[in-house]
Amino acid sequence: MAKIGINALVLRQTPESKYSHFDGSFEELSKLVEECFWAAAPGYRDGVVLVPLPPERFFSGVVELTPDTPLKAEFSARRKGEDPYTSVVALGGEKLPAKVVEVVCYRRGVLLEEGPNAASTEAEWEIVSLNARATEGPEPLTPVAMARNFLGLAGGTKADYSAEEFARAIMYWSKRAMRG
């Protein structure tokens, strides 16, 4: 069984944060990932894997909106070189229970490519992110992200979407927001 450590990056994924989180200790999470590591799928490169976990006790960073949910709008760019846009986050509300969970693990050698302090433990693998979503299938991208991709704008990856895909994304995100 692979020994799984907790990377400092994942420590920000708490119930109070805007990120998805696990309702348990990081030690429990590490043991759960160790038990399910056999089902790991390759990630975006060698040395990165996605470990599927049962969704119980996980929550996405998405909040179902109500008329009482406080919202905050910001007009900013995600990073330098990109155009600013309006984004809205929920300042309150309950994160939705996860229906699908993938834990991103990096092999120690891949982490060390980023620098000597990128690895937080001596374990062969470290958990760097909990990706929990509130949908069975893929969660729709935000309409702004889809438009950025569709138009090939800075920060986007060129992609084509149907009118129905745009409409479904608009409807999905008109009733939900990321926790801010």
Query: Can you say whether the dihedral through the CA atoms of 171, 21, 107, 31 is positive or negative?
Result: negative
Structural domain boundaries in the chain: 1-55+98-139, 71-93+140-180
Q: Taking the chain, what is the end-to-end CA distance rounded to the nearest angstrom?
A: 37
pLDDT value of position 69: 95
CB 24 within 8 A of CB 146: no
Report pTM.
0.85
pLDDT value of position 2: 81
Query: Could you say which residues of the chain have pLDDT below 50?
Result: none
CATH of the domain spanning 1-55+98-139, picked from 3.30.413.10, 3.40.190.10, 3.30.2310.50, 3.50.50.60:
3.30.2310.50
Per-residue pLDDT reduced to its tens digit, 15-65:
999 999 999 999 999 999 999 999 999 999 999 999 999 999 999 999 999
pLDDT value of position 92: 86
